[in-house]
Amino acid sequence: MIYPIYLYGHPVLRKIATPISKDYPNLNQLIADMFETMYKSEDGIGLAAPQIGLSIRLFVIDLSVLADEDASFKDFKKAFINAQITERYGDSVSKDEGCLSIPGINETVTRKNGVVIKYLDENFVEHEEKYESFAARVIQHEYDHIEGHVFIDHLSPIRRQLLKSKLTNIAKGKVSCRYKFKTA
């Protein structure tokens, strides 16, 4: 099933999401649906549960489409449950980001180059892994969503002010995007 994407301005994107347990109803189906929703959208490589209206600590990332650029992404299709970033390290790196919940806006975001993340996979097996560079950026972006943040929160007040009318339009649903969406 394809879910509509909740857009900037919807309160669900501002909640700190809650952990889930193994008996969360139809979890495998939900994860499959999140990947499907992401593939049907424009250029999504990551999707967090709050973006489909569920305030739970779950996000999915698939970097395998980028395997041509980086062979280590070949099998990078993962679900992250109850994730906790325990460390951010290395240089601060600035790169452009976008978000399915904020269509039409791409802005430069500065993040740490590396992260250590603890999470459960779709089988509730615990992992603690280190990621760097692009993977670390995508993980930090999705992790923001389960903490009630979005990428534009990282911008300067002036930059945000300049985006204000665009953001107001997004919150009202005055956007053109190919996927189904939902506003508050």
Contact predicate 61/38, CB 8 Å? no
| CB closer to Ni ion, 32 vs 152 | 152
Give the residue among 138, 164, 122 at the shortest CA–CA distance from 34.
122
User: What residues are annotated to the active site?
Assistant: 142
Contact predicate 44/100, CB 8 Å? yes
| CB closer to Ni ion, 83 vs 99 | 99
Give the residue among 73, 79, 42 at the shortest CA–CA distance from 61.
79
Q: Interacting stretch for Ni ion, rule CB under 5 A, among 6-14, 98-106, 132-140, 161-169?
A: 98-106
- Per-position x/- string for 121-150, each x denoting binding to Ni ion as judged by CB under 5 A, each - no binding: ------------------------------
Is 61 a binder of Ni ion (CB under 5 A)? no
| CB closer to Ni ion, 81 vs 150 | 150
Sole binder of Ni ion in the list 7, 30, 38, 99 (CB under 5 A): 99
Question: How big is the site for Ni ion, counted in residues (CB under 5 A)?
Answer: 1
| CB closer to Ni ion, 56 vs 99 | 99
Cβ within 8 Å of residue 102, ≥6 positions away: 7, 8, 150, 151, 152, 167, 170
Q: Interacting stretch for Ni ion, rule CB under 5 A, among 13-21, 80-88, 99-107, 165-173?
A: 99-107
> And the tokens for 29?
């189906």
Cβ within 8 Å of residue 93, ≥6 positions away: 110, 111, 112, 113, 133, 137
> And the tokens for 176?
């053109």
d(CA 69, CA 81): 27
Q: Interacting stretch for Ni ion, rule CB under 5 A, among 92-100, 116-124, 132-140, 172-180?
A: 92-100
Where along the sequence are the contacts to Ni ion (CB under 5 A)?
A: 99
